[in-house]
Amino acid sequence: MSVIEVKDLKKSYGKKDIVEALKGISFNVEQNEIFGLIGPDGAGKTTLIRILASLMVADSGSATVIGKDPKVDYQYIRNNIGYMPGRFSLYEDLSVKENLEFFATTFGTTIAKSYDLIKDIYQQIEPFNDRKAGDLSGGMKQKLALCAAMIHYPKVLFLDEPTTGVDPVSRKEFWNIIKGLNKHNITIVVSTPYMDEADLCDKVALMNNGEILGIDTPENVAASFNKKLYAVEVGGSNYHLIKSLRKYEFMDSVFPFGELLHYTDKRATDIKGDLKDFLEKEGYKNIFIQEIKSNTEDVFIRLMNAQKK
Ligand SMILES: Nc1ncnc2c1ncn2[C@@H]1O[C@H](COP(=O)(O)OP(=O)(O)OP(=O)(O)O)[C@@H](O)[C@H]1O
């Protein structure tokens, strides 16, 4: 049996202007997996996590978490899962230690009893034990929130965008922590809008607009891009370059990717020479074209474009 089983889950908001936040989502999460919900703002990640954490009820479909229905056995679910919401939800005017003691008491436990589980993270914030939570840095706040979410030895952890707005170094540290939780037999569902974090998960669901566009290991997702992909650069305005490439009769797709453009062609052959000729005729100089490996973001953009059609 999977730790989480979700089947055709639907949820809408509003009465007049209805927003379909989840349009029939299905997936399973296995024991000890780090399962990533990857998608932009509004994809439905928070709604999904809140339903699974028993904080919201779905309109239809079914879900089980550790074998229980969050709608029915919500007390059991709440006692056995950890939930870290997207926005900092601890008491800003309580100190680090007071916050943790508060959450420990709520679950009938103590910091000492949970120390083995939280120690790797807690040791990083312990020097600030007496500091008010509101005065911690963004990264420290996240670590405190994670400790609080784990204080009762949960079997499943739901982390809703834990790294959003956190600096890159803290983001990396946070992921090291998440990876380290594996040894404690904790199954983790983590949502993120950052595509590069997909590679850190065991399995990912690519979400957009209330739908799952694909579920697989990050390696298989990246490999599912079944076209030759090229990086194109001319050392000038990407805006004009996109406009030129969109005129090219063999253009299949083109989109900005950092400083470069990512381009696919309707032909399966190596088109570097032809494309360079075309761009030269368009008046470009210093043309750089290289075949590259696709990543999760390339696949995501392709799937989103297909979803729009
Ligand atoms: N309480 C609400 N009332 C009306 N619409 C809502 C409500 N909560 C969410 N929505 C809408 O439902 C959709 C899914 O939102 P949700 O918060 O689940 O997505 P998300 O992927 O977590 O994105 P975000 O990072 O923006 O929270 C969005 O269109 C959002 O505007």
pLDDT in tens, 187-216: 999 999 999 899 999 999 999 999 999 999
Q: Is 119 helix (H, G, I), strand (E, B) or coil?
A: helix
Domains of the chain, earliest start first: 4-218 (3.40.50.300), 226-293 (3.30.70.100)
Single out the residue of 163, 110, 119, 157 nearest to residue 141, CA to CA.
163
pLDDT tens digits along 99-157: 999 999 999 999 999 998 999 899 999 999 999 999 998 889 999 999 999 999 999 99
Distance (Å) from CA 103 to ligand 1 centroid: 27
Q: Give strand ranges (E) for 167-216.
A: 187-192, 203-208, 211-216
pLDDT for position 135: 95
Flag whether pLDDT at 308 surpasses 80: no
Mutate to test the pocket of ligand 1, among 11, 37, 41, 304 (most ligand atoms within 8 A of CB): 41
Residues with CB under 6 Å of ligand 1 are 13-14, 19, 21, 39, 41-47, 161
Q: What is the mean pLDDT of the chain?
A: 93
Flag whether pLDDT at 259 surpasses 90: no
Q: Is 122 helix (H, G, I), strand (E, B) or coil?
A: helix
Query: What is the C-alpha to C-alpha distance for residues 283 and 183, in angstroms, rounded to an integer?
Result: 58
Q: What kind and span of H or E run contains 79?
A: helix 74-80
pLDDT tens digits along 26-65: 999 999 999 999 999 999 999 999 999 999 999 999 999 9
Query: What is the C-alpha to C-alpha distance for residues 198 and 208, in angstroms, rounded to an integer?
Result: 15
With cut-offs at 50, 70 and 90, classify the pLDDT of residue 89. Answer: confident
